[in-house]
Chains A and B, each alone.
Chain A
Amino acid sequence: MPFMDQIPLLTVIVVLPLAGALAVLAAKGPRGVQGAALGTTLAVFVLTLLPLWSFQPERAGFQLVERVPWIPSLGISYHLGLDGLSLFLLPLTGFLSVAAVLVSWRRVQEKIKAYYVSFLVLETGMLGVFVSLDAVLFYFFWEAMLIPMFFIIGIWGGANRRYAAFKFIIYTMAGSVFLLIGLLLMAFLHLRLGGVFTFDMVSWFGFHVPLQWQYGLFVLFFVAFAVKAPVFPFHTWLPDAHVEAPTAGSVILAGVLLKMGIYGILRFCLPLLPEATVFFTPVVMALGVIGIVYGALVAYAQDDLKKLVAYSSVSHMGLIVVGVMAGNLAGMKGGIIQMVNHGLSTGALFILVGAVYDRLQTREMGRLGGLAGRTPVLAAFFMIMTLSSLGLPGLNGFVGEFLLLLGAFRHSWWIGVPAAATLILGAVYMLWMMQRVFFATYRGGRLGAVADLSRRERLVMIPLTLLVFGIGLYPSFLTDRIDTVSRLLTAAPAARVMAPMTADHSLAYHPDRLEETNDGTDFSRR
C-alpha cells in the first residue's frame, strides 16, 4: 500500500489515544466522554490492523520504521518500528482497549473523565512500548504505563485498592530500576567499545556485548522483565492487583501488561546477550517449570474466582518462558503466539468474571454455583474461554501449548515432561472453577433474578470467541508472519553455543545471517 509510506502510521497509532484523551477532557456529559473514548479506541484498533496488511513476513528487521533525531548529544532518537514480535501485540492491545471501554460502560460512574483519560494514556504507553526502537523511548513508555494503571487500581478498584495499587507500583518500579541501570550500562558499553554513545536499539543489536558484562546485564534485564511477566517467584503483586483492579483494569493487566515481560526478554535479553542467555537458560527454564506447576497448584487452592484466573496466568506465563528459552523455532513461535492467545482468553475470562461479580456481588466460589441454568449464554462463553485456557484442540490455546511443549521437549525431555503436566493441572483447576461457579446449585442463599449477558457484553465476547476459534483452526496466519523473527531470535543464542567465546559480531541478531537451529535427532534422515 503506497499511501502508508507517506503516513507515519506508528506515530499516528501511538499518539491517537493521547489525542482521544484530550477529546475526552473536552467532552460534555457521561455519554460524550464514553463516546469519545470508544471512538478513539475503535479508531486505534482499526489502525493497528493496517500493519497486518502491509507486513512482509519474509523481510528480516523492522518495518514501518520512523526515525527522527531527538536528543542527538545523548544518542537518543525518536525511533519506531515493527517486526513479527510486535506485529500481533498491537491489534491485541487495540482490541482489548475497545473491550475495556465497553465493559466499563455501566460500571464506572465516578470521576468518569479521569477514568477514560487514564485508560487512553495507558493505551499510548502500551502501544509505545511495543513499537519503540530507542531504549530511552522504550523506558519512557514503560514508565508512562505504570502511572495510569496505578490510578485505575487505586481509584476505581475494590475494597483493598490502596494496598494493591501501592504494591503494584512499588514492585514494578523496583523492577524498572533494574531496567534503567541495564539500559544505561548498555549505552556506556556501546560508547566504550563501539565508540558511540547511543540508545538506539537497532545499533545495539549489531553490537557484541563483552562476555564479562553479559551476565550482569542479563540479571538486570531479566529481573526487570520477570517482575512484569510475572515469572515465579516475582509474581505476588499480580493476584492483589488483579483482585482489586476494576474489570477493565484486569483485562488490560492480564491481556497486555503481562506480555511486556516476555516481550522485554525477547527484545533485550536474547538478541543482546546471547551467551548469557545460553548460560542462564537452565535457571530461567527451571523457574518457568516451577511457575507452571506452582501457579496451577495455587490456582487450584483459591476460593476467589479472580485470584484463580490470576494464578492461572502465572502458570501460563511459566510455560511461555520455558518455550521461548528452549532455543528452537517451535518454542519461540509458540511463545509469541501464546502471548496473543493468553491475552485473548484470559482477557475474556476477566470480562466474564466481572460479569459474574456485577450480578452477584461476590467472587467467592463457595457462595456461587448453579448459574448455568440462569445465565446460559454467560456460562457458554465462560466454558469456551475455560476450554481455550486449558488448551483444548481446535481453540487457540492448544496451538500455543502444542508448540511450546514441542519446543520444551526438543530442548530436553526432562523439561518437556514436567511442562506437559500443565495439560492435567490446567484441567483440574479450570474445570473445578467452572463447576463451582456454574454447575450444581447456588450456595449463596436465595437467588433472585439474574440477568444473562447484555447485548453490549455479547458484542465484546463474540469477536473474542471468533478469534479464539479462528486462531485455533487456522494458526498458520500467525505462524507464517512470525517465522522470520523467531528464526532470528533463536539463531542468536544458538549460534553462540556453536561458536562460543568468539567476538564475531556477524553472528549476533543480524538479519542477513540466518543460522539453522538444530532440532534434535532425526532418524528419518539417517
Chain B
Amino acid sequence: MNPDCLWLLLAPPALGFLVNGLMGRRLPASITAAVALAAVGLPLAVALGFLLEMTAAPPEARVVATSLYTWLSDGDFQVRVGLLLDPLAMVMSLVVLGIGFLIHIYSVGYMEGDVGYRRFFAYMNLFVFFMLLLVLADNLVLTFCGWEGVGLCSYLLIGFWHERKSACDAGRKAFIVNRVGDFGFILGILLTITAFQTVDYGELAEIAATAPGDASPIIALMVLLIFMGAMGKSAQFPLHVWLPDAMEGPTPVSALIHGATMVNAGVYLMCRLSPLLNRCPEVLLVIAVLGLVTALYAALAALGQRDLKRILAYSTISQIGFMFVAVGSGMYALGIFHLVTHGIFKGLLFLAAGAVIHTLGGEQDLGRMGGLFREIPAVAVAFLAGLLALAGVFPLAGFFSKDAILWGGFQRFGASFWIVSLSGALLTALYCGKLFGVFFGPRRDEGPPHRPGALLIWPPAVLALGALIAGVLGLPMFAQDTLLSRFLGFASPAVASGQGHELEVIMTVFQGMVIPAFLAASAYLFVRRRRRMEELERAFPRAAAFLADGFGLDKLNALLLATPLRGAARFSARIIDNRIIDGAVNGVGWAAMRAGRLLALLQTGELRHYALSILAGAVALLGAALYAAGIF
C-alpha cells in the first residue's frame, strides 16, 4: 500500500468542484455530469484498490499514513496536514464513495433541466471532498476542517433552491445549530491542546493508554465537549432540530448528506476517539443514554409526520441514536456496522422516495400518496426492501445490526435499558408500516403519474441489493468477532459477560418475531384501515400536532433562544449603542461646545469689561500674595 497515493482519494472531488464551479457555465450539461461522476468514481476505484491490499495484509499492517505539510505550529505544538487510512477510515470512505457514486448517478437524472445543474454537482463534489477529508484526517484539527466543510456544503445544498425562503431558513438553521455543536468541538480541541500538546489521533491514543489516573477527568471533559460537536452533526437530541428542516434540499442531497454519510460523522468521530472513550465509562454512559433518548424520541416523532421526507429524517435521527447506543456500550464496531447498513438502506429509501415524489410531480404529502405499487413497481420493491431493512426484518441488513445493538445494550446496561431500546425498535416497525400506505390501497393522487427514468430506478435498486446482503458483514451471529469487527479491530472496554449464549439466541428469536409482527400489524392498519387511522388523528388534533412538530422543540427554541437573542441584539443596538454609548460621546461633544460658548461670553469686545476684569484679577492676585506672605 503506497501512502503517496492517498491524495488520489482527495484530489479528484476537489478538481471536480473547481472545474464545475469555475467554468461550468461554458460546459454542456453532459460534460458537467461526466466530470462530477469521474470525481467520485476515480477515488472509489482507488479506495477499492486499497481495500484489496488491506484485506490481504496482516491486521497490524493495515494502516497507510502520510504527512503532507505542517499547517500551523505554535512552539512544540504542531498541526500537520496528514492523512491516515486505517480499516475504520476505509469503511467510512467506501460508504461515502460507494453510496455517493450511486447518488451522483441518480442526480444526473433527478436534477436534469434544473437551472443550477452545474452548481449542484460542484457542491456535491465539494461535499465528497470534505467528507473524505474528515474521514482521512489524522488529527482533530484537520477533521474539524472537514467537519465544518461538510457543514458548509450541507448549508449550501439545503438552501440550493435559494429563491425559496423556507429553504434558506432551513440551511441557515442547519449551519447555526451545527455551529452550536462545534462550539463544544472547538473547546474540546483547545482543551486537548492545552492538556496534551497534540491533536494527533495516534499520539492521543498513546496518551490515553499511558496518562496517569488524575488525567481521566480532563480526558472525560475533552471527549464530552467533542461529543457536543457530534451531537450537532449527527442530529442528536436536543441539537437535532435542523435535520427535519434540512429536507428542503433536493432529495439526492437528503440521501447523501442527511441520510447516508454526513450525519454519521459524529458516530465516526466517537469511534475514532475510542481509545480515549475507553478511559471514561461515565462519558460512554452519557452517550448511550442520550442515544437511547434520541432513538425513542425521534421514532415517536416520525410516527406523527405527514411528509414523506420528514418521516425519513426523523427515522435517520432515531437510527443514529441506535448507533450511539452501540458506541456508548463500548461496541464501536457495532456502531460502524449499523452505520454501514443504515447508510445503505437510508440512502435507498431517500432515493426511492425521490422517485415517488418525482412520480407525483413534487408531492411530498403522505395523505396524497397511495396505491403506487402498480405505477412504479421497481421503485416500490426497492422502497419496501428498504423499509424491511430499516425495521430490522430477517434476513435484511438492519436485522443483524439492530439485533446486535439491542443485545449489546442489554449486556452492558441491563434489562430496563433493553426494554427501552426494544420499544424504540418496535416504534421503528410502526412508522415503517405507515409507509406501506404509499404503495398499497387506493390511489390518492390526481393527474397522470410521471414515470421515473432508468437513472432514478437503478441506483436504488443497486442499494436494495446491498440492503439484502450487507448483513453478511455481521456474520457469524452470536460471536464475539464478526467479519466487520475483525477487520476494524477496535479495542473495547472489558465487559463482564455474565449472561449466557442461550439467552442471546432466545432474545434474537424473540425480537426476530415480534418486530415483523408489529410491522405487519402497522402495515395492515395503515393500508386497510387507513381512513380509520386518519380519523383517529383528526380526533386528537393537538396530540397529532405535538408529534408532528417533534414535541414542539422548535417553538421552545424560538421562545428560549432565538427571541431573546434577537431582543438582546435590538436592545444592544438601539438602547446601549445609540442612546447610552453614542449618547455619552455626543454629550461630551455637546458639553464641550456649551463650555466654549460660555467662555466665549467673556469675550465681549467692550474695553470696560476687560478693564474691570484686569482690576479684579489684580486685586485677587494682590490678596493671594498678601495671604501667602502671612499678612492677613
Binding site for B on A (CB under 8 A): 167, 170-171, 233, 235-237, 294, 297-298, 300-302, 329-330, 333, 370, 372-373, 387, 392-394, 398-399, 402-403, 405-406, 409-410, 413, 416-417, 420-421, 423-424, 427-428, 431-432, 435, 438-441, 473-476, 479-480, 519-526
**CA A208 to CA B457, docked complex, whole Å:** 79
Q: 5 A-B pairs, CB-CB below 8 angstroms?
A: A406-B74, A423-B182, A439-B159, A441-B163, A523-B196
By beta carbon, the residue of chain A nearest B187 is: A420
Contact B572 A297 (CB under 8 A): yes
B-chain residues with CB within 8 Å of residue A476 when the two chains form the complex:
69-73
Which residue of B has the minimal Cβ distance to A391? B148
Chain B, residues 581-599, CB within 8 Å of chain A (1/0): the string is: 1100100010000000000
Interface range for B: 35 or more
**Knowing A423-B182, A523-B211 touch, does A394 contact B149 (C-beta < 8 A)?**
yes
Binds A, one of B173-181, B296-304, B415-423: B173-181
Residues of B within 8 A of A370 (CB): 163
Closest residue on chain B to residue A399 by CB atoms: B72
**With A and B bound together, what is the CA distance between A373 and B69 in angstroms?**
39
B574 within 8 A of A: yes
Can you name the residue of chain A whose Cβ is closest to the Cβ of B193? A406
Are A301 and B168 in contact (CB-based, < 8 A)? no
Point out the residues of chain B lying under 8 angstroms from A235, CB to CB: 581
User: Which residues of chain B are within 8 angstroms of A394 by Cβ–Cβ distance?
Assistant: 145, 148-149
In whole angstroms, how far apart are the Cα atoms of A474 and B71 in the complex? 6
Cα–Cα distance between A427 and B144 once the two chains are bound (Å): 16
Whole-angstrom distance between the Cβ of A386 and the nearest chain B Cβ: 11
**Is the CB–CB distance between B186 and A427 below 8 Å?**
no
Residues on B with C-beta less than 8 A from A170 are 589
Neighbour of A479 across the interface among B73, B179, B582, CB < 8 A: B73
Is there contact, CB below 8 Å, between A431 and B172? Answer: yes
Q: Whose C-beta in chain B lies nearest to the C-beta of A303?
A: B573
B558 close to chain A: CB less than 8 A: no
Q: Is B461 engaged at the interface, CB distance under 8 Å to the other chain?
A: no
Which of chain A's residues have a CB closer than 8 A to the CB of B144?
Answer: 393
Q: Are B195 and A521 within 8 A (Cβ)?
A: yes
A-contacting residues of B (Cβ < 8 Å)?
Answer: 69-75, 141, 144-145, 148-149, 152, 155, 159, 162-165, 168-169, 172, 175-176, 179-180, 182-183, 186-187, 190-191, 193-198, 207, 211-212, 215, 218, 565-566, 568-570, 572-574, 576-577, 581-582, 585, 589
- Contact between chains at B194 and A428 (CB < 8 Å): no
Q: Which residue of B lies closest to A314 (CB)?
A: B577
Among residues of B, the one whose C-beta sits closest to the C-beta of A424 is: B179
Assembled-state Cα–Cα distance A301/B566 (Å): 7
A60–B332 Cα distance when bound, in Å, is 51
Whole-angstrom CA separation of A438 from B212 in the bound complex: 54
Taking CB atoms, residues of chain A closer than 8 Å to B168 are: 435, 439-440
Chain B contacts for A480, CB-based, 8 A: 73
A405 touches B190 (CB 8 A): yes
Please, how many angstroms separate the alpha-carbon atoms of A399 and B169 in the complex?
A: 28
| Smallest beta-carbon distance A506→chain B, Å | 23
In contact, B565 and A428 (Cβ under 8 angstroms): yes
CB of A301 within 8 A of CB of B572, answer yes
Contacts A423-B182, A524-B196, A524-B211 hold; do A294 and B187 have CB atoms under 8 A apart?
no
Give which listed residue, A393, A440, A523, contacts B148 with CB less than 8 A. Answer: A393
Complex Cα distance A373/B581, Å?
Answer: 40
Among B70, B148, B196, B215: residue with most chain A CB under 10 A: B148
Given contacts A420-B186, A431-B176, contact A297 B194 (CB under 8 A): no
Cβ contacts under 8 Å, B165 to chain A: 439-441
In the assembled complex, the Cα of A435 lies from the Cα of B169 at a distance in Å of 8
Q: Would B569 and A301 count as touching, CB distance under 8 A?
A: yes
In the bound complex, what is the Cα–Cα distance between A300 and B73 (angstroms)? 34
In the complex the two chains form, is A298's CB within 8 Å of B194's CB?
no
Known contacts A171-B585, A409-B190, A524-B211, A427 near B148 by CB under 8 Å:
no
Q: Which residues of A contact B585 (CB under 8 A)?
A: 167, 171, 236-237
- A416/B187 in contact, CB under 8 A: yes
Q: Is the CB of A427 within 8 A of B176?
A: yes
Contact of A424 among B148, B176, B566 (CB under 8 A): B176
Q: In whole Å, how far is A383's beta carbon from the nearest beta carbon of chain B?
A: 8
Q: How far is the CA of A233 from the CA of B582 in the complex (A)?
A: 9
Docked CA distance A173–B175 (Å): 42
Contact assessment for B577 and A298 in the assembled complex, using a CB-CB cutoff below 8 Å: yes
Interchain nearest-CB distance for B122 vs A (Å): 10
A240 to chain B, nearest CB (A): 8
Instruction: For A236, give its contact among B180, B574, B582 (CB under 8 Å).
Output: B582
Whether B74 and A236, one on each chain, are in contact in the complex, defined by CB atoms closer than 8 angstroms, is no
**Cα A297 to Cα B585 with chains together (Å):** 20
Q: Contacts of A416 on B, CB cut-off 8 Å?
A: 187, 190
Q: Is the CB of B159 within 8 A of A393?
A: no
Contacts of A440 in B (CB 8 A): 162-165, 168
